[in-house]
Copies of this chain bind each other. A is one copy, B any other.
Amino acid sequence: MTNSDSISVPERKRGSGVKVVYDLLRDEILDLKLAPGSLIDEVQLAERFKMSRTPIREALVRLASEGLIETLPNRSTMVSNIDFLNLNTFFDALVLMYRATTRLAAQHHRPEDLAIIRGFHEDYAEAVKARDTLAMIATNAAFHAAIAEAGRNPYFTSLFRRLLDEGRRILSLYYKSYEDQFPQRFVDEHAEIIAAIEARDIEAADRLSKAHAELIVSQVLKLFSRKDQFDIAL
């Protein structure tokens, strides 16, 4: 008897339901597999994940509290739109968190943190070499998140993670349109940042991370100002 013959096999550990749904939906939203503004149906998800609506709803509540989806009372819930009109608030926060987390990493990192950071650094370099844009975006976010972890301030880390997540959505649009030489420059700058952290040079970490962040911001802004407004509005 093959596995597909038996119908009533739960095959899922108790308590894992919410996490599975949350993780997968989150990834799909951040990779734009679920388009901003698209509607989410609980029953549909329940069928897809083969579970009841209760754990689905709890995953949605969590996504909503993180701003990834919006729920209209008594009416459907939808993937949050990217607010292009207020990108400046996003960039302001992003630059400040780049600086704050990198500074703290220079202060508080431990030897084992550097190994982790270097790991993601190499992953990113390989993604650049392979011209794999989705991997570039994901490993870049992981690299900076690892630096934030080494800074050991959970308040900064959680905001920064949220910003990096939102950045994944924005950068997905960016790299969908343009392939250019900047990723290689980012690799070099990452190496400089690592060196500053390792040397515990707080001011250098601050200066380099600030320049790095502002380069990204200026590139994305240049792109968006060049593109036709109607082209990017969802």
Interface centre among A54, A61, A158 (most CB of B within 10 A): A61
CB of A96 within 8 Å of the partner chain: yes
CB of A200 within 8 Å of the partner chain: no
CA distance A96 to B18 in the complex (A): 34
- Residue A162 contacts which of B92, B152, B155 (CB distance < 8 angstroms)? B155
Q: In the complex, which residue of chain B has the Cβ closest to the Cβ of A97? A: B155
Contacting pair B89 A100 (CB below 8 A): no
Q: Chain B residues near A74: list those with CB within 8 A.
A: 14-15
CB distance from A101 to the nearest CB of B (A): 11
Q: In the complex, which residue of chain B has the Cβ closest to the Cβ of A14? A: B74
CA distance A62 to B65 in the complex (A): 6
Q: Chain B residues near A159: list those with CB within 8 A.
A: 155, 158-159
Contact with B along A119-145 (1 / 0, CB 8 A): 000000000000000000000000000
- Interface size class, chain A: 20 to 34
Contacting pair B93 A155 (CB below 8 A): yes
Contacting pair B89 A154 (CB below 8 A): yes
CB distance from A167 to the nearest CB of B (A): 12
Chain A residues 96-122 with CB under 8 Å of chain B are 96, 100, 104
Contacting pair A92 B153 (CB below 8 A): yes
Contacting pair A90 B14 (CB below 8 A): no
Contacting pair A153 B61 (CB below 8 A): no
CA distance A152 to B73 in the complex (A): 25
CB of A163 within 8 Å of the partner chain: yes
- Residue A58 contacts which of B58, B153, B158, B163 (CB distance < 8 angstroms)? B58
CB of A57 within 8 Å of the partner chain: yes
CB of A186 within 8 Å of the partner chain: no
CB of A179 within 8 Å of the partner chain: no
The 9 A-B pairs with the shortest beta carbon distances in the complex, nearest first, are: A93-B155, A89-B153, A65-B65, A159-B159, A61-B61, A58-B61, A62-B65, A15-B73, A61-B62
15 A–B contacts from the bound complex (CB under 8 Å): A15-B74, A54-B54, A61-B65, A62-B62, A62-B65, A65-B65, A89-B153, A89-B155, A92-B104, A92-B155, A96-B96, A96-B100, A155-B159, A158-B159, A159-B159
